[in-house]
Structure 1
Amino acid sequence: MPYLIVNNTRIYYEEFSNEGPTLLLIHGAAQDTLSWRFNTIFLVELGFHVIAIDLPGHGKSQLAPSGPIDNLEDYAFYTEKFMDTLNIKNYSVMGHSMAGGIGLYMALHKPESISMLVIVDGAAYTSGTYGEDVFELVSINPTDWFEVNFRTICSPTTDIARVEEIAFDVRRCSPEVAFNDIRAYAALDLRDKMKEIKVPLIAIHGEDDWSIPSEIGKKTVEMSSGNFHFELLKNVGHFPHTESPELFNQAFKRVLEKIPVKL
């Protein structure tokens, strides 16, 4: 099991293949590398060198020395340093949910390094769904809140066993880390920075996701200055890569054929 020390923090990651252009997978709030368990082999078969990371305090990664991270830009700095430590100069990023915001920060910080950014049910800003009244509820028991929330943001058509599998993932995350994740994502607003993003930008979004409505995901890529593509998946909620992995995988393959990307 590979680890790297990044900013005095032991970071866990998984690597699949060592050939082809590098694609970095970044999980969403209160999750870890396992959230990509239905996608990694397919992505390798597409020709990618795939790396999936556990963000600080998630999965098997150590908590940052300062404690749980409470803003997405700090997550981006950690992730950039992680890739620098691996000595990988050029790579693409696929980020789910809050990690879409992390990827946007990375594209702003290091545009020369990012070949392509794929945002899965993420956006440059939030819909205002998660405000102070919600934070008060979350703070009582973050794990229980996330479990319930994850069930509701899946599509009603998603197999119930898969929904429960997604909800159970939360139990691997510290309640304090989960709480800080939701606060970090709720504070995201990069609308005034989107014109600075020139890397190819792909958004894949579940139509049934009410927490980050598809309209926001679409507007996010339209605000960028580079090539972009928006792909809407029907009968899928907030976790398309897990709820319906075959649909998601094939959609990503199609999009790669449509958008000019120099990997």
Structure 2
Amino acid sequence: MFEFAVRGNSVGVATGGVIPDAASATEAPVVLLVHGAGMNRTVWQLQTRWLAHHGYTPLAIDLPGHGDSDGEPLGSVAEMAGWLGDAVTVVCEQFSCKEVRLVGHSMGSLICTEAAAADQDSIARLVLMGTAAAMPVHPALLGAAEKNELLAPELMTAWGHGNRAHVATNPTPGLWMVGGGVALLQRADDGVIHADLSACAAYEAGDAAARVTCPVTVIVGSEDKMTPPRAAAPLIADFENVDVVHLAGAGHMMMNEDPAAVRAALAAALT
């Protein structure tokens, strides 16, 4: 089992079923995957195993206060990016590597962008999914999250999936994608979803994208209602070196809705 700690607190991590070590990481680049608001490392379960068996060392991590990570949820994207920067330092030391690749979804994409802007030496590549220059939050959703009501996970899941996910289409037979999304968000401790959504609502990108020097890939879903493709356009325009991958028919939760297409995009982006 692989474990590491950041700022004295244990970090929940998934490695795709392969226990990594410093020797293997010299030939299998380290990829840190960062989840979105109210979620945890399990959102990457259809990508981490593939990465682990195709030449990479995946570390899907839980942010503080999420999943199996200790500590309290951090209050802003800037604070989370600072924590991620510390995590990158710890991982580089533990694996004796000079750089890592960052993959972020939704709120995680903002965190990864800020971390890459702040550290131009240790971040080799950046992959963003469900991203935008700003992430305003509907007042009804924010209010439900503040009260820890079931309505918050229900709204996030309903808006977070494209049409196909709502009519029982699932790449993993026998599982209910929308119901699974609600169940995942229900696992968050009280206050976590509200803290995350508040951080997203308050976020201002500024010149972060312009300060990123590594290659960037932005993956957008054509049916993403939470961060529609047009919302990502200003951010994309500010990156110096960027490719854009469009996934037809995918919504915000593209990692689960179209895992094969996401894996293909990762294979091209992380090389």
TM-score (norm: length of structure 1):
0.88
Deviates further, 173-182 or 45-54: 45-54
Distance 2:62 2:198 in 1: 19
Q: Secondary structure at the match of 1:231?
A: strand
Distance 1:250 1:38 in 2: 12
Alignment match, 2:153: 146
How far did 1:57 drift? 0.5
Pair 1:252-2:261 in alignment: no
How far did 1:82 drift? 1.9
Name the aligned partner's letter for residue 33 of structure 2: L
State whether residues 100 and 124 of structure 2, in contact with CA within 8 Å, keep that contact through their aligned partners in structure 1: yes
Sequence identity, in percent? Answer: 23
Choose from 135, 138, 149 the match for 2:142.
135
Choose from 206, 213, 216 the match for 1:198.
213
Distance 1:9 1:45 in 2: 29
* 1:144-183 matched pairs, under 5 angstroms: 144-158=151-165, 160=168, 161-183=176-198
Q: Secondary structure at the match of 2:134?
A: coil
How far did 1:79 drift? 1.8
Name the aligned partner's letter for residue 8 of structure 2: N
Change in CA separation of 1:35 and 1:134 when aligned onto 2, cut-off 3 Å: closer
Pair 1:89-2:94 in alignment: no
Pair 1:52-2:63 in alignment: no
Q: Secondary structure at the match of 1:34?
A: helix
Distance 1:132 1:143 in 2: 15
Alignment match, 2:132: 123
Distance 1:216 1:60 in 2: 32
- Structure 1: where are the runs of 5+ without partners? none
State whether residues 125 and 191 of structure 1, in contact with CA within 8 Å, keep that contact through their aligned partners in structure 2: no
1:206-230 per-position Cα deviation (integer Å, ceiling 9, x unaligned): 11111111112233122112x2111
Q: Secondary structure at the match of 1:93?
A: strand
Name the aligned partner's letter for residue 108 of structure 1: A
State whether residues 150 and 167 of structure 1, in contact with CA within 8 Å, keep that contact through their aligned partners in structure 2: yes
Two-structure CA RMSD over aligned residues (Å): 2.0
How far did 1:101 drift? 0.4
State whether residues 160 and 251 of structure 2, in contact with CA within 8 Å, keep that contact through their aligned partners in structure 1: yes
State whether residues 209 and 235 of structure 2, in contact with CA within 8 Å, keep that contact through their aligned partners in structure 1: yes
State whether residues 2 and 12 of structure 1, in contact with CA within 8 Å, keep that contact through their aligned partners in structure 2: no
Distance 2:195 2:153 in 1: 12
1:117-154 per-position Cα deviation (integer Å, ceiling 9, x unaligned): 1001112322x3x1556423331225431233212220
Alignment match, 1:36: 44
Deviates further, 68-77 or 54-63: 68-77
Q: Secondary structure at the match of 1:31?
A: coil
Distance 1:143 1:100 in 2: 25
Name the aligned partner's letter for residue 114 of structure 1: I
Distance 2:133 2:108 in 1: 10
Name the aligned partner's letter for residue 94 of structure 1: V
Change in CA separation of 1:252 and 1:150 when aligned onto 2, cut-off 3 Å: same
- Structure 2: where are the runs of 5+ without partners? 169-175
Name the aligned partner's letter for residue 46 of structure 1: H
How far did 1:164 drift? 1.5
Q: Secondary structure at the match of 1:202?
A: strand
State whether residues 11 and 53 of structure 1, in contact with CA within 8 Å, keep that contact through their aligned partners in structure 2: yes
Change in CA separation of 1:132 and 1:249 when aligned onto 2, cut-off 3 Å: same
State whether residues 218 and 230 of structure 1, in contact with CA within 8 Å, keep that contact through their aligned partners in structure 2: no
Alignment match, 2:201: 186
Deviates further, 29-38 or 136-145: 136-145
How far did 1:252 drift? 2.9
* 1:17-32 matched pairs, under 5 angstroms: 17=20, 18-19=24-25, 20-32=28-40
Distance 1:203 1:46 in 2: 21
How far did 1:22 drift? 1.0
Choose from 75, 80, 96 the match for 2:80.
75
1:181-208 per-position Cα deviation (integer Å, ceiling 9, x unaligned): 0011111121433222221111111111
Distance 1:165 1:29 in 2: 16
TM-score (norm: length of structure 2):
0.85
